[in-house]
Amino acid sequence: MSYQRARFMCEVIATVIFLLISSTSSLLENPKFGEPIRNVTVAVGREAIFTCIVEDLGTYKVAWLRVDTQTILTIHHHLITKSSRISVTHSENKTWNLHIRDVQEYDRGWYMCQINTDPMKSQMGYLDVVVSPDILDYATSADMSVQEGVNVTLRCEAKGYPRPHILWKREGGEHFHLRHGQMGSSAYGPMLNINQVSRHDMGPYLCIAFNGIPPSVSKRIMLIVNFPPSIQVDKQLLGAYDSFSVTIECFSEAYPKSINYWTKNNGDIVPENEKFHIERIENQSYKIHMKLTIKNISQIDYGSYQCISKNTIGEAEETVQLYRNAHNSTIKKNSEKNSIYHADLSRKDSLFLGDGYYSSAECVNEMEEAAAKVLDNFDGGDTPSESKDYLYAENNSDDYGDENGIEVLDNKTKAEINGDNITWFTKPERVSKRRYSNKVKMTTGVTNVSQHFSMP
């Protein structure tokens, strides 16, 4: 005999027994339900309890049934089903509880509390089984590597009950391309479409599944965008001076990561040594800032320098031409009683401080070195050296005047600015002993130079 047939026969016998018991009940008793059965919602793995309140039960019996399968689960105190997860409890022959332990999704449905009166009395309650989200790996995108410019679709599927919603975000919270060319920080739906993907779209994306049943779950999908190198330089022509230092810079973008280096005059690779200092600064996964500092420049250092970037897809290069500036004609000392120094800023690329200078292409530390040369011109006391009377000027100061001419150090030093020219006037007299924090600041055609110094 098959299992299904045996089960059917058992249920028939149980029903017959239930009806026979009902025929012996007293006709004077009239049981009724005290209140409706409440619906129950539980998560998978939890316990569900249905409660049936019956008043004046007398000698009648209470049974629990699964409605959709017409399966008798219990009759009064007796367990009919073979499931070990189901049990029945009662209190004072009035409160009848059906227990379903370790609830599974297939337990979802209607359950009936039945009294064996004639006609039969019954009421039902619904068991809703909720399931927290779970992302389906087989239907969800893995990490992707694509070429720049193609269309990309990221997919994410999840199961759960109720059906989960899908939310897309970038891991760092950055915005990404949405439909119709718009940008946003999030998107909904099982698919995320990115048209003509660019390097800016590269990075980790989060697929987040949620349905109100904790916990929400997420999957990290890495989008790699491959593209050949590109290089930018701020200045293709750069002037420098003998015995000083200069820094050449270039900015490259490439993925996979590139090999970056410098060459001179389209020849040998520039080495890292006491003469040349090379810095490689990685700003993002695909951006590299290259710096080449040339120290103690001499005649052989002038020429063309190539910034070169290579990866497995391609290569790129840009050239910076380093030329020699002749600065001996741009500063002169007037033959007046007071020492007067004059700098011609018409080249729009340098600011002179006595026989020190600042070139717009140089780093801040070069500015400090040039300023230190001027500070060294003092003899350490309160009186400027008579041989080298160099002091500083301050421009655009709220304390010392306007942009067309300012006075500092108790009128002992004066600077005048006229168009492209700046002139320092210094008097070889004792200056005040109180300390001054003065600033050299001059805007030329290509740079704004600013640095603070403490005067002796």
In the prediction, which pLDDT does 327 show?
Answer: 53
Residue 34: name the closest of 119, 105, 123 by CA.
123
Supply the pTM of this predicted model: 0.62
Whether 55 has a pLDDT exceeding 90, the answer reads yes
> What's the mean pLDDT in 314-338?
66
Contact 313/226 with Cβ under 8 angstroms? yes
In the prediction, which pLDDT does 10 show?
Answer: 52
Contact 393/408 with Cβ under 8 angstroms? yes
**Per mean pLDDT, which range of 38-47, 73-82, 192-201, 409-418 is the poorest?**
409-418
Distance from CA of residue 403 to its chain's centroid? 44
In the prediction, which pLDDT does 344 show?
Answer: 39
In the prediction, which pLDDT does 183 show?
Answer: 86
Q: Say which residue, 36 or 6, is predicted with more confidence.
A: 36
The Cα 428–Cα 340 span in angstroms is: 11
In the prediction, which pLDDT does 277 show?
Answer: 97
> What's the mean pLDDT in 245-271?
95
Kindly report each contact of residues 133-140 with a partner whose C-beta sits within 8 Å and lies 24 or more positions away, as own/partner.
133/158, 133/159, 133/160, 133/164, 133/209, 133/210, 133/211, 133/213, 133/216, 133/217, 134/158, 134/159, 134/160, 134/209, 134/217, 135/207, 135/209, 135/217, 135/218, 135/219, 137/219, 140/207, 140/219, 140/221
> What's the mean pLDDT in 75-86?
94
In the prediction, which pLDDT does 18 show?
Answer: 55
Predicted confidence band at 355 (pLDDT cuts at 50, 70, 90)?
A: very low
Whether 58 has a pLDDT exceeding 60, the answer reads yes
In the prediction, which pLDDT does 345 show?
Answer: 36
Predicted confidence band at 411 (pLDDT cuts at 50, 70, 90)?
A: very low
Pairing verdict, β 40-43 and 121-135:
parallel
Predicted confidence band at 15 (pLDDT cuts at 50, 70, 90)?
A: low
Residue 244 phi, psi (nearest 5): -105, 180
**Per mean pLDDT, which range of 211-220, 275-284, 351-360, 439-448 is the poorest?**
439-448
Whether 406 has a pLDDT exceeding 70, the answer reads no
Q: Say which residue, 14 or 432, is predicted with more confidence.
A: 14
In the prediction, which pLDDT does 54 show?
Answer: 97
Whether 241 has a pLDDT exceeding 50, the answer reads yes
In the prediction, which pLDDT does 177 show?
Answer: 81
Whether 53 has a pLDDT exceeding 50, the answer reads yes
> What is the per-residue pLDDT across 150-173, written as a single tens digit (0 to 9) for each?
999 999 999 999 999 999 999 989
> What's the mean pLDDT in 432-441?
33
Q: Say which residue, 424 or 36, is predicted with more confidence.
A: 36
> What's the mean pLDDT in 134-148?
97
Whether 215 has a pLDDT exceeding 70, the answer reads yes
Predicted confidence band at 47 (pLDDT cuts at 50, 70, 90)?
A: very high
Instruction: Tell me how far apart the terminal alpha carbons of the chain are, to the nearest angstrom.
Output: 112
In the prediction, which pLDDT does 1 show?
Answer: 46
Whether 298 has a pLDDT exceeding 80, the answer reads yes
Whether 9 has a pLDDT exceeding 60, the answer reads no
In the prediction, which pLDDT does 369 show?
Answer: 45
- Token code pair at residue 455: 């005067």
Q: Cα separations (Å) of 166 from 37, 140, 221?
A: 35, 11, 14
- Token code pair at residue 290: 């290259």
Matching residue, tokens 């530390």: 365
Whether 425 has a pLDDT exceeding 80, the answer reads no
In the prediction, which pLDDT does 5 show?
Answer: 52
> What's the mean pLDDT in 213-221?
97
Whether 122 has a pLDDT exceeding 90, the answer reads yes
The region that residue 193 occupies, defined by phi over 0 for left and psi between -120 and 50 for alpha, beta otherwise, is: beta
Whether 56 has a pLDDT exceeding 90, the answer reads yes
Percent residues over pLDDT 90 in the chain = 60
The Cα 284–Cα 223 span in angstroms is: 15
Residue 94 phi, psi (nearest 5): -125, -45
Predicted confidence band at 181 (pLDDT cuts at 50, 70, 90)?
A: confident
- Token code pair at residue 188: 């909904």
Percent residues over pLDDT 70 in the chain = 65
Give the strands of the sheet with 48-55, arranged side by side.
32-35, 48-55, 95-100, 86-91
Neighbour count for residue 224 (Cβ, 10 Å): 14
Average pLDDT for the chain: 75
Pairing verdict, β 315-324 and 237-240:
parallel
> What's the mean pLDDT in 298-314?
96
Matching residue, tokens 């003899």: 379
